[in-house]
Structure 1
Amino acid sequence: MEAVRVHVDSVEMSDRISVAENSRQPFQSRIAFVVPTMNRPAELRRLLASVECQSVLPDEIIIVDGSTEPMECLSRDFPHLSLKYVRIFPPGLTKQRNAGMAMLSPHITLAACLDDDLVLEPGSIETMLRVWDNAPKHVGGASFNIVNVRAPRALLIKSLFRMDSFRRGAVLRSGYEATIAPVRKDTFFEWLCGGATVWRRQVIEEFQYDEWFRGYAYFEDVDYSYRVGRKYRLIILAGARVKHLSPPVKENRNYLLGKCQVVNRRYFMQKNPDLSVGLFYWATLGLVIANIGEGILTNSPGLFARAWGNVVGLLQSGLGRLEQIDGALKD
């Protein structure tokens, strides 16, 4: 079975697959959505409801569930969507994404791994397919335009520390990524959001998600899209609008997030020796200062814990200890 090759510990396939009533599909491209999820049934149903209201429906949706309890009645509740359901346990974002991509039907030409807390605005799939039907072969990935991303703050200071850049969507030599703000026109970037990007089938067959990134898999999207972007062009489509309604980081997980911010980036640096380790340490110093500064301004103890996690991650990575960090960081 294909899923075994992506290190799935246990798989249960639902035999309840509904048939999409998608007579409105006027495009040559055939698109599928892979949705990894874990213990967030309300968010998943909200996403599926936003998909079901689209002017054009996806050809299939693969739910890759890592929840402690299996989800029920999805096919019955969303009869117009072609749903497949697979249960992966123990869960992990990259493992779930690889398992879902391995289940794509042969006729699928495009596929996206969507975050379960995404909400699609009307017409976003139609806009996406219209572009893909005419996209040149050198375009490998196209992202939905996440319109509720907060604009970066203190950008000048962050750019001095090589934590961010005025060159939107760049991957910096420090190993840090420049923020991707909402775009007003279709724009090419060097990295794309892992939970909102549609990939060409050829890309999916050529690249897998790195399962070194465990659990929440912080920074896996930069790792994956940066590898793809060295061979293909990456673009955000302004008209394919979505909202990312991400819950806040759990207060008691800020320390863990702080470690992830450093250790996972250092692993990324290790995979890309053309990047600058010196600039990575300089940028990470800036990250510690930024977390402490924002903690003072907002009176947030969680940001102090996050800064301490940055320091510990920096010390461990400096000693060559790249610890794989597991577990959920958000509800």
Structure 2
Amino acid sequence: GKYVFFFDDDVVLDSDYIRIIMETFSHLQGVQLGGLTGRIVNIEERPELWETILKMVFFLSDLGDGKIKLSGFPSLRIDEKASYVGFLSGCNMVYPKAIFSEFMFDENLTGYSYMEDVDLSYRVSKKYRLYYQPKAKLKHLSTTYKSVDSRSLRRIMVRNHYYLFRKNLPKDLPHLFAFAMSIVGLLLYNGLIMKDILSCIGIVEGLMKPLKAVERPYE
């Protein structure tokens, strides 16, 4: 086949998801298209105001424009407007098969490979366009957080976040500031709001035991 589809095992696709994706590839033939993603329809579009502000101030993952923040965390698009984006969500992403003659997943990200989807698609986006097609709908049941304890989850999250920031993003003052703020934000959110001391321990462990950064591998 010409295309490679990636789905999490806890997604439920609308009956016409595949058809819409294929039609979109056909419609955008004149574009150097590197990949497509659809719309997750079961995410709450209006989180609490305090949560929105906290994630904005501390450059944390949130719902937004489909781009990568200065910190390296993604802002997931879930609205009904089709657009070009800066990364693809790993629970549903589709690439032309030919992409994998140029780009590969980073094998340093093992186990629960947090943000391996963002890493691959971000690198692809530097050469090709990525497209968000909201008509291709799915539900993501998100079972990962139920199967991994909070300390381990945060350790993996921060370890990979730190690694991918060093590997992929500029090291200028705005980016370094945003990364530092994101770590502070994670500690505040998990410690003061969620009152989860194990998550805070995991965050510190992720910083203390980082993966070795390799500048832009696998391209």
Equivalent residue for 1:247, pick from 136, 143, 149: 143
Distance 1:123 1:166, change over 3 A: closer
Counterpart code for 1:172: K
Query: TM-score by structure 2 length?
Result: 0.85
Q: Distance in 2 between matches of 1:206 and 1:130?
A: 24
The answer on whether the counterparts of 2:34 and 2:99 sit within 8 Å (CA) in structure 1 is yes
Q: Which residue of 2 aligns with 1:94?
A: none
Query: TM-score by structure 1 length?
Result: 0.57
The answer on whether the counterparts of 2:63 and 2:78 sit within 8 Å (CA) in structure 1 is no
Q: Which residue of 1 aligns with 2:165?
A: 269
Distance 1:175 1:113, change over 3 A: same
Relative contact order: is structure 1 or structure 2 higher (C-alpha 8 Å, sep ≥ 6)? 2
Offset at residue 140 of structure 1 (A) = 1.0
Alignment of 1:177-256 (within 5 A): 177-178=74-75, 180-247=76-143, 249-250=145-146, 253-256=149-152
Structure 2 residue ranges without an equivalent (≥5): 214-219
Q: Distance in 2 between matches of 1:247 and 1:323?
A: 29
Please say if 1:289 is aligned against 2:188. Answer: yes
Distance 1:241 1:160, change over 3 A: same
DSSP 3-state at the match of 1:141 = strand
Alignment of 1:8-157 (within 5 A): 108-135=1-28, 136-151=30-45, 152-153=47-48, 154-157=51-54
Q: Distance in 2 between matches of 1:232 and 1:248?
A: 30
DSSP 3-state at the match of 1:313 = helix
Q: Distance in 2 between matches of 1:114 and 1:252?
A: 19
Q: Which residue of 1 aligns with 2:58?
A: 161
Distance 1:252 1:266, change over 3 A: closer
DSSP 3-state at the match of 1:249 = helix
Equivalent residue for 1:308, pick from 177, 188, 201: 201
Q: Distance in 2 between matches of 1:313 and 1:116?
A: 26
Rg larger in structure: 1
Counterpart code for 2:200: A
Post-superposition CA distance 1:106-158 (Å, at most 9, x none):
xx111111111111112111111111112133121111211112335422222
Offset at residue 208 of structure 1 (A) = 0.7
DSSP 3-state at the match of 1:310 = helix
Offset at residue 167 of structure 1 (A) = 4.8
Distance 1:163 1:122, change over 3 A: same
Offset at residue 241 of structure 1 (A) = 0.6
Offset at residue 289 of structure 1 (A) = 0.5
RMSD over aligned CA atoms reads 2.2
Offset at residue 209 of structure 1 (A) = 0.6
Q: Distance in 1 between matches of 2:161 and 2:22?
A: 33
Offset at residue 164 of structure 1 (A) = 4.4
Q: Which residue of 2 aligns with 1:322?
A: 211
Q: Distance in 1 between matches of 2:21 and 2:169?
A: 35
Offset at residue 311 of structure 1 (A) = 2.1
Offset at residue 198 of structure 1 (A) = 0.8
DSSP 3-state at the match of 2:170 = coil
Number of residue equivalences: 206
Counterpart code for 2:13: L
Residue identity (%):
30
Post-superposition CA distance 1:237-261 (Å, at most 9, x none):
1111111112152476210111112
The answer on whether the counterparts of 1:194 and 1:222 sit within 8 Å (CA) in structure 2 is yes
